[in-house]
Structure 1
Amino acid sequence: MKRDRRAILKNAAVLTAALAIPNAVAASGRLLTQRDLKPIAEPPVPPAPPIAPIQTSSRVVRPDLLRQALASLDRHRSSIQRQDRIAIADMDAPSSQPRFHIVDLRNGDSKSFLVAHGSGSDPAHTGFLKRFSNEYGSNATSQGAFVTADYYVGKHGSSQRLIGLDESNCNALGRNIVVHSAWYANRDMLQTHGMLGRSQGCFAVGEGDLDKVFAMLGSGRMIFAAKV
């Protein structure tokens, strides 16, 4: 009886192994033995591909500003559908510099564009943003995190609505703060005036840059504007 039980257990073990590695049985053309029932080690897990560091030089995005933008992305994560790329508007830089940076957070690549600020943020038209405002009628740029929304065609042509996610820009949708193109944000303004013109608080980019900005930014991504 004990012998029969041992035989049953042995056959069960052999059957289990055969089901697990049928190719081995077919290749060998023989019955499996206890020697064949060695544990099979798990294949080594390939290492995860390295994540490229995000460029943080002063020629791209200043480190302090980037840290603030990433902290804002984390804080508003539930409201931002796409988190692979973000746009960072460095409003500490003059309008004569490409200061609208679209950063790919997966590989660190970035592309920078000229962008105008609001006339209410620079009343004397110095080319530098002096103040932010969230007030209706201020014509000023607002600071904080925005999420890009839908596209439409308005008085400035193709435009993209923005939703403010912070108390400092929560009126953005009602104020019609959008991304659009404008002649006064074209590069040739720098040759004649040394700075861009001013918007009514919108992120106005050059007419030749709008399609690129829309293609890289899309809907459901974050724009972060700050002066650090």
Structure 2
Amino acid sequence: MIGRRGLVMSGAAAAVSALAGSSKHLVAPAAKPTAAPQAPSLAQARPAMVPAAPTPEPQIVREALAALDGHGRRVPHHDRIAVVDFSVPSAQPRMKVIDIASGKAKDFLVAHGSGSDPGHTGYLHKFSNVPDSNASSQGAFVTADYYVGKHGRSQRLLGLDPTNNNALERAIVVHGAWYANADMIPAHGKLGRSQGCFAVGETELAALFEHLGPGRMIYSAKA
């Protein structure tokens, strides 16, 4: 039998290869988020106002899959992983939820923290794990429970690495925000900034929750 490590690492080649050579994406069903999402169906094109999603750096994808394998049982579900390539500007979809077996992905716009981009250039310049830094953090997170807060329906994250292990204390979560909506791109050429959270468009939040659910990894890095 092939062990967990074999399954995950065999998925690395499929994921990297498929992302480099395929423009197909996955789309979540239009349904209320659940703790056990159904497998997404194949997709429709992204609106013209949003630039085409770039392919993540292959090294970042390999690092993400190695982290998924390395953290083992701390991440209950190994079928999908979200990879955020913060080398890419906020005007482009830089979060990809990757199906490990097929390598197919669904892409999302996602904001970075104001502390990572003090001049609001649209690019992440630095990571931080320091409380009150308002910066994005690097490393592997595991998605936790849903709650309703000041941004509406949100999802807590647990940082698994020394570079992000203050995530819970810092209230680094996944949430929707008007400043991460697609119409920010034609209007301003970039998204707004969060306080370090993974903020996505308000109309995209349900799809992201449907793809991830609790117990899956988000991997954040920059080439």
Same fold (TM over 0.5): yes
Q: Do 1:83 and 1:221's aligned partners in 2 also have CA atoms closer than 8 Å?
A: yes
| 1:53 is aligned to 2:14 | yes
Partner of 2:135: 140
> Which stretches of structure 1, 4 residues or longer, exceed 3 Å deviation after superposition?
none
Partner of 1:123: 118
| 1:150 is aligned to 2:145 | yes
Partner of 2:96: 101
**Whole-angstrom distance in 2 between the partners of 1:138 and 1:87:** 24
Deviations 1:112-162 (A, max 9, x none): 000000000000000000000000000000000000000000000000000
Matched residue SS, 2:134 = coil
**Whole-angstrom distance in 1 between the partners of 2:175 and 2:164:** 18
Deviations 1:198-227 (A, max 9, x none): 000000000010000000000000000000
Partner of 1:211: 206
**Whole-angstrom distance in 2 between the partners of 1:67 and 1:103:** 12
Deviations 1:150-200 (A, max 9, x none): 000000000000000000000000100000000000010011110000000
Matched residue SS, 1:190 = helix
Q: Do 2:19 and 2:104's aligned partners in 1 also have CA atoms closer than 8 Å?
A: no
Partner of 2:179: 184
**Whole-angstrom distance in 1 between the partners of 2:161 and 2:116:** 18
Amino acid corresponding to residue 53 of structure 1 in structure 2: A
Indicate the RMSD between aligned Cα atoms, in angstroms: 1.5
Q: Do 1:84 and 1:106's aligned partners in 2 also have CA atoms closer than 8 Å?
A: yes
Relative contact order higher in (CA < 8 Å, ≥ 6 apart): 2
Deviations 1:74-123 (A, max 9, x none): 11112000000000011010000000100000111100000000000000
| 1:75 is aligned to 2:70 | yes
**Whole-angstrom distance in 2 between the partners of 1:56 and 1:63:** 9
**Whole-angstrom distance in 2 between the partners of 1:215 and 1:196:** 23
| 1:224 is aligned to 2:185 | no
Partner of 1:193: 188
Give the deviation of 1:56 after TM superposition.
Answer: 3.2
**Whole-angstrom distance in 1 between the partners of 2:186 and 2:70:** 40
Matched residue SS, 1:134 = coil
Matched residue SS, 1:148 = strand
| 1:171 is aligned to 2:166 | yes
Amino acid corresponding to residue 71 of structure 2 in structure 1: H
Which segments of 5 or more consecutive residues in structure 2 lack a partner in the other structure? 1-9, 22-53
Amino acid corresponding to residue 109 of structure 1 in structure 2: K
Q: TM-score, normalised by structure 1?
A: 0.76
**Whole-angstrom distance in 1 between the partners of 2:136 and 2:213:** 21
Deviations 1:17-44 (A, max 9, x none): xxxxxxxxxxxxxxxxxxxxxxxxxxxx
Question: Which residue of 79, 86, 89 corresponds with 2:84?
Answer: 89
Q: How does 1:3-42 map to 2 (within 5 A)?
A: none
Q: Give % identity.
A: 59
Give the deviation of 1:61 after TM superposition.
Answer: 2.6
**Whole-angstrom distance in 1 between the partners of 2:56 and 2:207:** 19
Give the deviation of 1:53 after TM superposition.
Answer: 2.3
